[in-house]
């Protein structure tokens, strides 16, 4: 079985890295439909996303910094816990 090359499933967009088969951005710098936030630094954990997946600690940092955004879907994921998004299983 051949391993797909990253450029076949990860795309660099103005908002940041987009994972096509998972339909999400990783640490986007602009608001997006679905953001996977890897840590709470301000250059990654930004406001305005429609959906956010992050650790409970990162979600708490974002809530303290920006408030809880109305209509935003927030999913807490512990480190190492798997979750599926589209065709991708991801872990923080």
Torsion of CA 51, 70, 32, 39, to 10 degrees: -60
Contacting residues for 81 by C-beta, under 8 A, at least 6 apart = 91, 92
Contacting residues for 61 by C-beta, under 8 A, at least 6 apart = 40, 45
Q: How confident is the model at residue 55 (pLDDT cuts 50, 70, 90)?
A: very high
Condensed to tens digits (0 to 9), the pLDDT of residues 18-53 reads 999 999 999 999 999 999 999 988 887 889 999 999
Q: Where are the domains of the chain?
A: 10-80
Question: H or E segment at 64?
Answer: helix 56-66
- First-to-last CA distance in the chain? 26
pTM of the predicted model, to two decimals? 0.89
* Amino acid 45: pLDDT: 87
- pLDDT above 70 (res 1): no
């Amino acid at each position: 079985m051949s391993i797909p090359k990253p450029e076949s499933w990860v795309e660099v967009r103005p908002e940041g890295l987009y994972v096509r088969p998972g339909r999400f951005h990783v640490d986007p710098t602009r608001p997006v439909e679905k953001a996977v936030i890897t840590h709470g630094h301000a250059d990654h954990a930004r406001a305005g996303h429609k959906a956010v997946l992050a650790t409970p600690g990162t979600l708490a940092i974002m809530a303290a910094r920006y408030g809880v955004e109305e209509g935003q879907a927030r999913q807490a994921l512990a480190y190492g816990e798997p979750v599926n998004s589209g065709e991708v299983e991801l872990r923080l």
